[in-house]
Chain A
Amino acid sequence: MSGNKSSGVRYGMVIDIDKCTGCTACSVACQQENNVPFREDETNKVRSITWMEIYQLDNGMPYPEYRQAYLPRLCLHCGASPYPPCTFVCPVNATHRDEDTGLVNHIPVRCIGCRYCISACSYHARYFNWWDPKWPKPMEEMLTPNVSPRMRGVVEKCTMCVHRLQLAKDRAFMEGRSELEEGEYVPACVESCPAKAMTFGNLLDPDSEVARLAKSSLAFRLLEKLGTEPKVYYLSSQDWIHKLADKVM
Chain B
Amino acid sequence: MDSALIPEGVKRCSFKAFSLWLLVIFGVIGWGVLGGFMVLWKGLNMTGLNDSFGFGLYITADLAIIALGAGAFFTGFLTYVVGKKELKDIINLAVVVGFICYTGAQLVLLLEIGQPIRGWFSFWHPNVHSMLTEVIFCITCYTIVLTVEYIPLILENRQLDKVPEFHYFSHNLHEIMVVFAATGTFLSFFHQGSLGGLYGVMFARPFAFRTGFFIWPWTFFLFVASAIASGPALTILVCKMVQGVSRKQLVRREAILLLAKVTGYLLTFYLIFKFLDTWWWATQTLPKMGVSFTEVFQGPYGMWLLIAELGVCGVIPATILLIPKAREDDVLLIVACVLDCAGIVINRFVFTIQNLALPVLPFEQVQIYVPTWTEWAPTVGVLAYGALLLSLSYRYLPMFPRERELNPID
Contacts and interface: CB of A to CB of B under 8 A. Distances in A.
Interface centre among B49, B53, B114, B290, by most chain A C-beta atoms within 10 angstroms, is B114
Interface in A24-52: 44, 46-47
A226 B289 CA distance: 5
Interface centre among A56, A131, A153, by most chain B C-beta atoms within 10 angstroms, is A153
Interface stretch (A90-98, A137-145, A161-169, A176-184): A90-98
19 contacts: A47-B45, A55-B363, A55-B364, A89-B198, A91-B132, A92-B122, A111-B115, A119-B205, A119-B355, A128-B54, A151-B115, A153-B44, A153-B113, A154-B114, A225-B288, A226-B204, A244-B363, A248-B360, A249-B360
A199 interface: no
A121 B360 CA distance: 9
Contact of A153 (B52, B114, B201): B114
A247 B115 contact: no
Given A91-B122, A115-B55, A225-B289, 12 more contacts: A47-B45, A55-B363, A55-B364, A88-B129, A92-B125, A115-B54, A116-B198, A119-B202, A122-B360, A124-B52, A153-B43, A153-B115
Contact of A248 (B52, B54, B130, B290): B290
Contact of A121 (B112, B121, B133, B204): B204
B132 A223 contact: no
Nearest to A119: B54
B374 to A, nearest CB: 13
A110 B125 contact: yes
Q: Which 3 A-B pairs have the closest CB atoms?
A: A113-B114, A153-B114, A115-B54
B43 A244 contact: no
A114 B127 contact: no
B136 interface: yes
Contact of B54 (A78, A90, A111, A116): A116
Interface string A72-109: 01000010100101001111110000000000000000
Contacts of B355: 119
Nearest to A131: B45
B130 A112 contact: no
Nearest to A71: B363
A243 to B, nearest CB: 9
A249 B54 contact: no
A104 B221 CA distance: 31
Interface string B273-296: 000000000000000111100011
A223 B291 CA distance: 11
A123 B364 CA distance: 10
Interface of B: 43-45, 49-55, 112-116, 118-119, 121-122, 125-127, 129-133, 136, 198, 201-206, 288-291, 295-296, 355-356, 358-364, 367
B204 A91 contact: no
B66 to A, nearest CB: 16
Contact of A90 (B118, B127, B361, B367): B127
Interface of A: 44, 46-47, 55-57, 71, 73, 78, 80, 83, 85, 88-93, 110-116, 118-124, 126-132, 151-155, 222-223, 225-228, 244-249
A112 B115 contact: yes
A94 to B, nearest CB: 8
A236 B133 CA distance: 42
B259 to A, nearest CB: 34
B362 A245 contact: yes
A71 B364 CA distance: 12
B52 A249 contact: no
A93 B127 contact: yes
Nearest to B40: A153
Contacts of A57: 363
